[in-house]
Structure formats: structure tokens, C-alpha cells
Amino acid sequence: EKCGRELFANIVALGTIAKLTGAVSLDALEKAVLARVPKGTEEMNKSALQIGYQAV
């Protein structure tokens, strides 16, 4: 709900998993996500990742 669209649920989940496992740093995950998302959605995806990471 905080992201405004269900479309970003997978990115929120990635942030949560990263925080819980410590398998990858938030910076590295952010770079990977931003390299793969469609143009124009970078900020929304970045926000979704932060929301998931901070939810833990």
C-alpha cells in the first residue's frame, strides 16, 4: 500500500529478504534492481526496496 501499486510487491519482498538474511547489501541489491527495471520506474522501485528493507 505504501508503494501505491501491487506491482512492486516483489521488490518489497526482495528488500525484506535482504535484511533478514544479510546475503547481500542493500546498496548491491539496489544497483541490481535499478539495472533491470523499466525506465521511468526507478524511483518507485527504489522506494519499494527501502520499504521492504525497513519493515524488518
**More confident position, 6 or 52:** 52
Percent of the chain with pLDDT over 90: 86
Domains: count for the chain: 1
CA distances for 49 relative to 33, 38, angstroms: 9, 15
What would you report as the CA-atom Rg of the chain, rounded to the nearest whole angstrom? 10
Residue 42 belongs to some domain of the structure: yes
User: Mean of the per-residue pLDDT values for the chain?
Assistant: 92
Residue 15 belongs to some domain of the structure: yes
Q: Given this model, what pLDDT does residue 20 score?
A: 97
**More confident position, 10 or 4:** 10
Question: pTM for this structure?
Answer: 0.86
pLDDT single digits (tens) 23-36: 999 999 999 999 99
Residue 43 belongs to some domain of the structure: yes
Residue 21 belongs to some domain of the structure: yes
* Domain encompassing residue 44: 6-54
